[in-house]
Amino acid sequence: MTLPALALHGGAGTITAASLSAQDARGYRQALHDIAAAAQALLLEGGSALDAVCLAVQMLEDCPLFNAGHGAVFTHAATHELDAAVMDGRDLRAGAIAGVSRLRNPVHTARAVMEDGAHVLLAGAGAEAFAQERGLTFVDPAYFSTPMRREQLERVRAAGRVVLDHDGASAVAEASGKPRTPLDEDRKMGTVGAVAVDRHGHLAAATSTGGMTNKRVGRIGDSPLIGAGTYADDRYAAISCTGSGEMFIRAAAAYDVCARMRYAGQSLTEAADAVVHQSLPALGGTGGLIAVDRHGNLALPFNTEGMYRAHVRGADAPVTAIHR
């Protein structure tokens, strides 16, 4: 029997002390704590890693603090286009959706795509038609909008940039010649993800995102791409990424963690660190990832100032953190 373990992220980036008040930080950590505790309870009751990561990501999607589901960032056209993926390490089954705008919990549809088994990735109207057939919950696109995200879009548009969720304020500060504070609320990637190992030693990963603020309509990031932002293989690791998606795609970041373990004999920590601190920076990639192996080892490296994160091992209390 394996001791269950789980890690979550709510995005990485330049999370500045100036823009993140002590009170806000407490709010983020409380949310991460409660979501980790819910997924932990499921694992301790004998639930599967797959169920645990889907529950955690669904709760993160429902929480307006994070850039997924309710609270997702805006595209340049002030719309929302959401991406999500799920992978089961037992048999390498995977499901993902991209560019949807009316599904309340994109992770549920990603899982339904996986369970259906015919395809791995469905996009746009086709993904929504599939979700309709499955009876999944639809919402008005306005459900995803929050005043905070709209303000963020206005700031970022004014600065003429396309930025990761948490990178917006810094981009504006730079453009306006104001000094950058050390950790900046808008300079972070608010994508959410979870990885878990259950008591049977099975692994799973799930990721969900609104993408990048002011992104071009139709742009798809790494999150729903199996091997880029999401991957799970019982023999090696389960991984969920957050960061500058284009570079994570080019680096095949999530799969590279498994490949390093498989072909180079690296440990989980060595492999995850190499991807985040070597491969991604070599391409100009910023962000982080969470990873777990079948022994319950966890790695949560990031190359930005902060990453919203939590982890649990066995029945220990969840540990949450934002900065280094």
Residues in touch with ligand ASP (CB under 6 A): 11, 67, 164-165, 189-191, 209, 211-212, 221-223, 229, 242-243, 245, 287
The least CB distance from residue 45 to ligand ASP, in Å, is 31
The least CB distance from residue 308 to ligand ASP, in Å, is 11
* Residue 191 among the catalytic residues: yes
What gap in Å lies between CA 211 and CA 279, rounded to an integer? 21
**Comparison of 189 and 292: residue with beta carbon closer to ligand ASP:** 189
Report residue 253: phi and psi, to 5°: -55, -50
In sign, the C-alpha dihedral spanning 148, 108, 244, 184 is positive
Give 66-100 as a DSSP string: SSSSTTPPPBTTS---EEEEEEETTTTEEEEEEEE
The least CB distance from residue 188 to ligand ASP, in Å, is 8
Report CA-CA distances (Å) from 92 to 172, 194, 237, 238. 42, 16, 11, 11
Strands (E), 110-251: 121-123, 187-188, 192-197, 203-209, 230-232, 238-243
**Comparison of 156 and 189: residue with beta carbon closer to ligand ASP:** 189
**Comparison of 42 and 82: residue with beta carbon closer to ligand ASP:** 82
Residue nearest to ligand ASP (CB): 245
| 164 burial level (CB within 10 Å; 0-12, 13-18, 19+) | buried
Helix (H) or strand (E) holding 258: helix 253-264
What tokens appear for 110 in the block? 């990603």
The least CB distance from residue 118 to ligand ASP, in Å, is 25
Which residue in 16, 109, 191, 286 is the catalytic one?
191
Beta bridge partners of 84: 97, 208
What gap in Å lies between CA 199 and CA 286, rounded to an integer? 33
The least CB distance from residue 218 to ligand ASP, in Å, is 13
Beta bridge partners of 14: 187
The least CB distance from residue 316 to ligand ASP, in Å, is 27
> How are beta strands 82-88 and 93-100 bridged, if at all?
antiparallel
**Comparison of 43 and 85: residue with beta carbon closer to ligand ASP:** 85
**Comparison of 47 and 229: residue with beta carbon closer to ligand ASP:** 229
**Comparison of 52 and 164: residue with beta carbon closer to ligand ASP:** 164
The least CB distance from residue 191 to ligand ASP, in Å, is 3
Give 145-182 as a DSSP string: --HHHHHHHHHHHHHT--B-GGGHHHHHHHHTTPPPPS
Tell me, what amino acid is at 322? I
Catalytic residues: 191
